[in-house]
Copies of this chain bind each other. A is one copy, B any other.
């Protein structure tokens, strides 16, 4: 099945206790697309890059079978860039800078032949842009929406409008608490269900993830990692793996979404083991299957 992914494509500056990296390939659409590409074939990426965007990244993304028809390549201007520094415990980070570059005036344009995409992932971008995407697509099978604290903070109203129109909302624990003003995540999950989405997935980093629907509750631990080098993109990778599995199996039942959560977790576990996209740059199916199997083994009793 086809998966349409809209988000940012970035060249980031990353600093963690394990090192730093300049002009690192990043952005929500990038991580989402790469992750989804390991599970399903027809991945369609919508975004924008500037004149400084290295050709090698285009070559790489294309090699992953990611269709870049919707990626606007500006002849001028700079690619979106985010600079971040992670603290010692990797759970908190400081934003050093945000250079919007060509992203400042970006409006997603969905190519005509993509308007009937079956699975749609609204990556983590401004809710007004997510809404523009929703207005262009026709009769999708499933719409998944990612977001972040920034939008909850400065664009809550627009976000609430988007939420009325999506099937699945993915966000982290801190964001869930912020959006609902509830500390308890079960209560927060139920509150978000009343905002529109049929299913809410709350990511809890090293503590795993929860899936909440009106009458279903699923909770899974994180893949046990002894070392994390760079958490950047883990959330996007999770979302990409989540929708990638649903598209591959073409089954949007809540039962199948549990598996999708685990695939998202598996892909995110690879992501954080290296800087930028390096942890998911080249994975083979066996590695994915092995971690999925480990997940099952570590949860059973």
Q: Compute how far the CA of A241 lies from the CA of B299 in the bound complex, rounded to whole angstroms.
A: 19
- Are the CB atoms of B218 and A298 closer together than 8 Å? yes
A221 and B221 contacting across the interface, CB-CB below 8 Å = yes
Residues of A64-122 contacting chain B, CB below 8 A = 89
A258 near B301 (CB under 8 angstroms)? Answer: yes
Shortest distance in angstroms between A79's beta carbon and chain B's nearest beta carbon?
34
Collect the chain B residues with CB atoms within 8 Å of residue A296's CB.
301
Decide yes or no: A217 and B224 within 8 Å by CB, A258-B300, A258-B301, A299-B299 being known contacts. yes
Stretch of A138-146, A164-172, A182-190, A229-237 that contacts chain B: A182-190
Contacts of A196 in B (CB 8 A): none
- Which residues of B are found within 8 Å of A301, using beta-carbon distances? 218, 220, 258-259, 261-262, 296, 299
Number of interface residues of A (CB under 8 A): 30
> Does A225 count as interface, using CB distance less than 8 angstroms?
yes
- Nearest B residue (CB) for A91: B183
**Chain B residues with CB under 8 A of A224:** 186, 210, 217, 219
Interface string of A211-230 (1 = CB under 8 A from B): 00000011111101111000
Query: How distant is A300 from chain B, measured CB to nearest CB, in Å?
Result: 7
Q: Which residue of the partner chain, among B183, B226, B262, B298, contacts A184 with CB atoms under 8 Å? A: B226
Give me the interface of A with B, judged by CB distance under 8 Å. 89, 183-187, 204, 206-208, 210, 217-222, 224-227, 258-259, 261-262, 296, 298-301
Task: Give me 4 other A-B pairs in contact (C-beta within 8 A), A207-B208, A219-B224, A261-B301 excluded.
Answer: A208-B219, A218-B298, A219-B222, A220-B301
